[in-house]
C-alpha cells in the first residue's frame, strides 16, 4: 500500500492496513537505536517543529530524539516561550510557524480538535501528539507495536483498559487501534470515569477489577489524576486503589503470560505497586523504547508524502 | 411613507388571512387590504407577485452588544442585520457592559436605536443587579424607562429564592421573565452536548438534564407564584415535554427555540469548527425531532434567533477557549422556510405566528398583525428562491455561523418598518439611511 495521508491526527479514521503499515515500518527504525552511531541521514535537511501547548517531557523528548536520529532539524516551541501566546488565533499560530518554512509540525494541545483545525489551514504535515481527551495516535501505535512484538499477534487478544477512561485520549486511540486490529477491549472503571454512551463503542464494560484481571491477556493501566477527586468522580484515592489498584496480592490472579502496560508516568502505589511496575509482567520500559521507533517511522512516512505527491504532479 | 404592495400572498395569523391581496399603506399605517383596482398617484409600488407578505418578524432573543462590546456588534450593525433577515423588531438583551440594570442604560439603548437603528429595538432589563444573580434590579425604574421584559440571559438565576421573588415582583408590572434555564453545576466545563459524539471527540459534555432541571424548577416557581415565565432557547426533548405538561395545566409559561435546534445536531461538532459552539449546545437527532414536534403542536410558541455575535479573533481559537455563540438574524427565516415550511409542511400562517404574532403578544406589543389600522411592519419573502449562505455578505459584524455554504430557500426581498423600506434585495440601494444620523 502507498501512504496517502499528509497528517497523522488520530486512529479513528485509519484503516487496519494503514495501522499495520506503520507498525511494519517501525521495526527497521528500532534497529537504528541499537547501533553505536544512532543516526541515519534519512530526513537530513528537513525541519520539524514541536508545538507543545501542554507540558510534556517524555513525548516531546521522544519526538525530539526521533527527529534527530533521522538527522532532521528540530525546533521546540512551548507556551512559556514568547511566540505562542494564549489566545493567539489558530490562523496566526499557523502563519507564524509556516513563516519558519517547517516541513512537519508535532502538536500537543489541551483542547480536542486543535490539530484538526490547524490541518485545515496549512499544507504542512501535522502529527497529533495528543489533543485534549480526543486522541494520542503515536501512543496507541507504540502500544500496538509492543503487544504485537510480545504476543506475535493482536487479533483475538483480550485487552483490559483500566482507569480514567473519561478523560483519556490514550484510551480512545487504543480503543480504535485495538478493535480495528481485531482485539477484544474491556474497559474497567467506576461508572463515573466512563464517558457517556460508552456502550456504543465496540467495547465491553466491567466494574469488577479482579474478574477482569483474571481473564485479560493485556492489562493497560491509565494514570489517575488526584484532581479528579475534587469533582466527585471517586470518593478518595484510597477507595479507588482498593477497587482498581494492582497490588502484589492480586498478582496471583493474573494469567501466566499477562502483560502489564502503562503510558507513563506511573503513579506508584496508586495504579500499580512498585513491585508490579518493575516486575516481570511489565513492558512499560519497552513501550518507551518502541515509542521512539514508532515516531521515527511516522516522521519518515509523512515526510515522504509530499515528495510522492510532487512526483505525481 | 405611502406604499402599495401589489399581488402578494398576504399572511395574518391573528385573523387567519392567507390570500392574494394588495396592501395600501399611508403615512406608515395600513389603510386598506384587498384588491385595489385603481393605483393611486404618489404611491411607491412594490411588486409582491409570487411572494409572501408576512407581518414583520420580531426576534425575542438578540444580543446587540452595545453598550460595551461594540467590536462584536453595534445597534447600527445589528439592526442592519435584522433588516436583512426580515426582522422589523428585535430585542436588546441586557448582558451588555454595563448591563441593563438601570434606567440610564435603557435610555441609552433606546436613544441609540432612535439615532442609528434601522428597525424597532425593544429593550430587555436584567432581573438582577449587574446580572450577578444576587439581588433584584430596580424593576419599577426599568419598567418606567421602557423595558418590555426582564432576563439575566447568558446566565440562569441560580438562587431559587431570588428567582421566586423575581417572578412574584414582576407580576406587578405584568413583565415576562425570560429565563435562560441551566443548572451551572451540571453543565460545569462542558463545551458541547454530552453524548456519544462528545465521548468520541473527547470534549467535555453538557448533559441535557442541566437544561431540563433548570426548566423544571422555573416552571414550578411560575406555578407557585403565578408569574409570567418565558423559557429561552429550549433544545431538548425533555424540555419540550416539561413545557407541554405546564401548558396542559394552564400555566403562564411560553417557550422559544432557535433555528439551529431544528436544523442541526451534535454531529456538527465533529469538524471542531467553533461555529458549532453554542449554549445550549446542539443536541442529537431525537431532540431535533422533538423540537419540531413541539413547534407543530404549539408547545413551542416562538422561533427566536439567539443572535450572539463575537469577533473573528475570539471564535478562531481552539474549541475549549472559544466563546459560545453564533449569529442568526440573517439565516433564521430561510432556515424556518427550508426546514419547517418545505420539509415539515408547516404553513406560512404557522411560521408567521411563531416569528411575528406570538413574540408580539408575549412582549405586549401591538405588532405582528397585518390588519387595517396597524403600523406597517412587513416582511416580503420569496419562498422558492434558493441561495447560498455566505457569511461574507452578512451585515452583522459577527461571521460565526454553522450555515456557511448552505443552500437555503426563502430569501427576504423587502423589509418595511413603519411604512418605510429599510431593506431591499431588489433595488440598487440596499439599506435605507436612518434619517436621524
pLDDT at B144: 97
The C-alpha atoms of residue A84 and residue A97 are separated, in whole angstroms, by 10
Give pLDDT, residue A241.
Answer: 93
Which residues of A lie inside 8 Å of B (Cβ-Cβ)?
Answer: 12, 86-87, 89-91, 109-114, 116-117, 131-135, 169, 172, 195-198, 200-201
Q: Are A78 and A61 in contact (CB under 8 A)?
A: no
**Is residue B214 predicted with pLDDT exceeding 60?**
yes
Q: Which residue of A has its CA nearest to B273?
A: A117
Rounded to a whole number of angstroms, the distance from the CA of A59 to the nearest CA of chain B is 20
Do the Cβ atoms of B150 and B166 come closer than 8 Å? yes
Q: What is the pLDDT of residue B427?
A: 61
Chain A residues lying within 8 Å of B312, measured CB to CB: 89
- What are the cell numbers at B195? 453524548
CB under 8 Å to B393, separation ≥6 — which residues?
none
The pLDDT score that the predictor gives to residue B437 is 38
Per the annotation, the verdict on B306 as an active-site residue is yes
Q: Tell me the fold of B56-363.
A: TIM Barrel (3.20.20)
Query: pTM above 0.90?
Result: yes
- Smallest Cβ distance to B317: which of A12, A90, A110? A90
Segment A26-48 shows an average pLDDT of 93
CA–CA gap between residue B296 and residue B360 (Å, rounded): 19
Residues of chain B found within 8 Å of residue A111, distances taken between Cβ atoms: 318-321
Model confidence over A63-93: pLDDT tens digits? 999 999 999 999 988 765 545 566 778 788 8
Determine how many CB atoms are found less than 10 A away from the CB of residue B54.
30
Mean pLDDT of B149-157: 97
Q: Do B202 and A109 touch (CB under 8 A)?
A: no
Which of B199, B319, B321 has its CB closest to that of A195?
B199
**Chain B residues contacting A via beta carbons under 8 Å:** 194-196, 198-205, 207, 271-273, 312-313, 316-321
ipTM of predicted complex: 0.90
Measured in angstroms, the CA of B288 and the nearest CA of chain A are apart by 18
Q: Is the pLDDT of residue A132 over 80?
A: yes
Which residues of A fall within a CB distance of 8 Å from B318? 90, 109, 111, 113-114, 117
Residue B45 is inside which H or E element, if any? strand B44-47
Q: Which residue of B has its CA nearest to A91?
A: B316
Q: What is the pLDDT confidence band of residue A307, given thresholds at 50, 70 and 90?
A: very low
Question: What are the tens digits of pLDDT across the range B40-99?
Answer: 888 999 999 999 999 999 999 999 999 999 999 999 999 999 999 999 999 999 999 999
Confidence of residue A229 (pLDDT cuts 50, 70, 90): confident
> What is the predicted pLDDT for the residue at B20?
97
B296 pLDDT exceeds 80?
yes
Nearest to A138 by CA among A166, A183, A104: A104
pLDDT, chain A, mean: 92
- How high is the pLDDT of residue A79? 66
Task: Give me the catalytic one of B59, B152, B306, B377.
Answer: B306
Distances (CA, A) of A184 to A13, A23, A141, A176: 19, 19, 17, 11
Structural domain spans, chain B:
56-363
Task: List CB contacts (< 8 A) between B317 and chain A.
Answer: 87, 89-90
Give the mean pLDDT of chain B: 96
Which of A196, A198, A199, A232 to probe the B interface (max B CBs under 10 A)? A196
Quickly name the fold that domain A16-135+288-312 has: Rossmann fold (3.40.50)
Segments of chain A assigned to CATH 3.40.50.1370: 16-135+288-312, 137-285
Residue A99 has a CB neighbour count (10 Å cut-off) of 8
pLDDT bin (cut points 50, 70, 90) of residue A232 is confident
Question: If you write DSSP's letter for every residue of B170-238 in order, what string do you get?
Answer: HHTTTPPEEE----HHHHTT--EESSHHHHHHTPPEE-HHHHHHHHHHHHHHHHHHT--EEE-S--SHH
Phi-psi region of B94 (alpha: psi -120 to 50; beta: other; left: phi over 0): alpha
Which class is domain A137-285? alpha beta
Specify the pLDDT at position A296.
97
pLDDT digits (tens, 9 = 90+) for B371-398: 999 999 999 999 999 999 999 999 999 9
Q: Which whole number is the average pLDDT over B407-418? A: 97
Q: Which of A50-59, B62-71, B176-185, B322-331 has the lowest mean pLDDT?
A: A50-59
Q: What is the pLDDT of residue B37?
A: 86
> Backbone phi, then psi, for B31, in 5-degree steps?
-110, -20
For residue B112, give the C-alpha cell.
441609540
Q: How far is CA A62 from CA A68, A133, A288, A296, B171, in A?
A: 10, 20, 8, 9, 66
Lowest mean pLDDT among A46-60, A197-211, B334-348: A46-60
Amino acid at each position: 500500500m502507498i501512504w496517502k495521508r499528509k497528517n497523522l491526527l488520530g486512529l479513528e479514521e485509519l484503516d487496519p492496513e494503514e495501522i499495520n503499515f506503520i507498525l511494519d515500518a517501525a521495526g527497521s527504525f528500532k534497529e537504528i537505536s541499537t547501533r553505536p552511531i544512532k543516526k541515519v541521514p534519512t530526513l537530513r535537511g528537513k525541519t520539524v517543529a514541536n508545538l507543545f501547548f501542554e507540558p510534556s517531557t517524555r513525548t516531546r523528548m521522544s519526538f525530539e530524539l526521533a527527529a534527530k536520529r533521522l538527522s532532521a532539524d528540530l525546533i521546540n516551541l512551548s507556551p512559556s516561550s514568547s511566540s505562542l501566546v494564549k489566545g493567539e488565533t489558530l490562523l496566526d499560530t499557523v502563519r507564524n510557524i509556516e513563516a519558519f518554512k517547517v516541513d512537519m509540525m508535532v502538536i500537543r494541545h489541551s483542547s480536542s480538535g486543535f490539530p484538526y483545525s490547524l490541518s485545515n489551514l496549512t499544507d504542512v504535515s501535522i502529527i497529533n501528539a495528543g489533543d485534549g481527551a480526543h486522541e494520542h495516535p503515536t501512543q496507541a501505535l507504540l502500544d500496538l507495536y509492543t503487544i504485537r512484538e510480545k504476543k506475535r499477534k493482536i487479533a483475538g487478544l483480550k485487552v483490559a483498559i483500566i482507569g480514567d477512561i473519561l478523560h483519556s485520549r490514550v484510551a480512545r486511540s487504543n480503543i480504535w487501534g485495538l478493535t480495528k486490529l481485531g482485539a477484544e477491549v474491556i474497559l474497567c472503571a467506576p461508572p463515573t470515569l466512563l464517558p457517556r454512551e460508552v456502550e456504543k463503542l465496540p467495547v465491553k464494560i466491567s466494574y469488577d477489577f479482579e474478574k477482569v484481571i483474571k481473564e485479560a491477556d493485556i492489562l493497560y493501566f491509565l494514570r489517575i489524576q488526584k484532581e479528579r477527586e475534587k469533582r466527585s468522580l471517586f470518593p478518595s484515592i484510597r477507595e479507588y486503589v482498593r477497587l482498581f489498584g494492582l497490588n502484589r496480592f492480586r498478582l496471583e490472579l493474573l494469567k501466566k503470560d499477562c502483560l502489564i502496560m502503562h503510558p507513563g508516568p506511573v503513579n506508584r502505589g496508586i495504579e500499580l505497586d512498585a513491585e508490579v511496575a518493575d516486575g516481570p509482567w511489565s513492558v512499560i520500559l519497552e513501550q518507551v523504547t518502541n515509542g521512539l521507533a514508532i515516531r521515527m517511522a511516522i516522521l519518515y512516512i509523512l515526510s515522504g508524502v509530499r515528495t510522492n505527491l510532487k512526483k505525481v504532479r | 411613507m405611502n406604499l402599495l404592495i401589489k399581488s402578494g400572498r398576504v399572511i395574518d395569523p391573528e385573523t387567519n388571512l392567507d390570500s392574494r391581496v394588495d396592501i395600501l399603506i399611508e403615512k406608515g399605517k395600513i389603510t386598506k387590504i384587498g384588491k385595489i383596482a385603481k393605483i393611486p398617484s404618489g404611491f411607491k409600488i412594490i411588486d409582491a407577485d409570487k411572494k409572501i407578505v408576512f407581518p414583520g418578524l420580531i426576534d425575542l432573543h438578540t444580543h446587540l452588544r452595545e453598550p460595551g462590546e461594540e467590536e462584536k456588534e453595534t445597534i447600527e450593525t445589528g439592526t442592519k442585520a435584522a433588516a436583512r433577515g426580515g426582522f422589523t423588531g428585535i430585542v436588546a438583551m441586557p448582558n451588555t457592559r454595563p448591563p441593563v440594570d438601570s434606567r440610564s442604560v435603557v435610555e441609552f439603548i433606546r436613544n441609540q436605536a432612535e439615532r442609528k437603528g434601522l428597525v424597532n429595538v425593544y429593550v430587555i432589563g436584567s432581573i438582577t443587579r449587574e446580572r450577578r444573580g444576587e439581588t433584584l434590579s430596580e424593576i419599577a425604574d426599568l419598567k418606567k424607562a421602557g423595558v418590555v421584559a426582564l432576563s439575566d440571559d447568558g446566565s440562569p438565576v441560580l438562587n431559587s429564592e431570588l428567582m421566586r421573588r423575581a417572578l412574584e415582583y414582576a407580576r406587578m408590572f405584568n413583565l415576562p421573565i425570560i429565563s435562560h434555564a441551566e443548572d451551572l453545576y451540571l453543565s460545569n466545563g462542558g463545551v458541547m452536548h454530552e453524548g456519544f459524539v462528545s465521548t468520541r471527540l473527547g470534549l467535555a459534555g453538557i448533559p441535557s438534564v442541566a437544561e431540563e432541571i433548570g426548566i423544571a424548577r422555573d416552571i414550578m416557581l411560575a406555578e407557585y407564584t403565578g408569574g409570567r415565565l418565558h423559557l429561552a432557547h429550549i433544545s431538548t426533548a425533555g424540555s419540550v415535554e416539561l413545557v407541554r405538561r405546564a401548558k396542559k395545566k394552564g400555566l403562564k409559561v411560553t417557550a422559544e427555540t432557535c433555528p439551529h435546534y431544528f436544523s442541526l445536531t451534535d454531529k456538527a461538532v465533529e469538524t471542531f469548527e467553533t461555529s458549532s459552539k453554542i449554549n445550549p449546545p446542539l443536541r442529537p437527532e431525537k431532540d431535533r425531532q422533538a423540537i419540531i414536534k413541539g413547534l407543530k403542536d404549539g408547545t413551542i410558541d416562538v422561533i427566536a434567533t439567539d443572535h450572539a455575535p463575537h469577533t473573528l479573533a475570539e471564535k478562531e481559537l481552539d474549541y475549549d477557549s472559544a466563546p459560545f455563540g453564533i449569529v442568526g438574524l440573517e439565516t433564521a427565516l430561510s432556515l424556518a422556510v427550508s426546514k419547517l415550511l418545505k420539509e415539515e409542511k408547516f404553513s406560512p400562517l404557522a411560521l408567521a405566528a411563531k416569528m411575528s404574532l406570538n413574540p408580539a403578544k408575549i412582549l405586549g406589543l401591538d405588532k405582528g398583525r397585518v390588519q387595517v389600522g396597524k403600523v406597517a411592519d412587513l416582511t416580503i419573502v420569496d419562498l422558492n428562491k434558493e441561495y447560498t449562505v455566505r457569511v461574507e455578505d452578512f451585515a452583522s459584524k459577527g461571521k460565526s455561523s454553522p450555515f456557511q455554504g448552505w443552500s437555503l430557500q426563502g430569501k427576504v426581498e423587502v423589509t418595511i418598518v413603519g411604512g418605510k423600506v429599510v431593506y431591499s434585495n431588489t433595488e440598487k440601494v440596499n439599506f435605507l439611511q436612518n434619517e436621524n444620523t
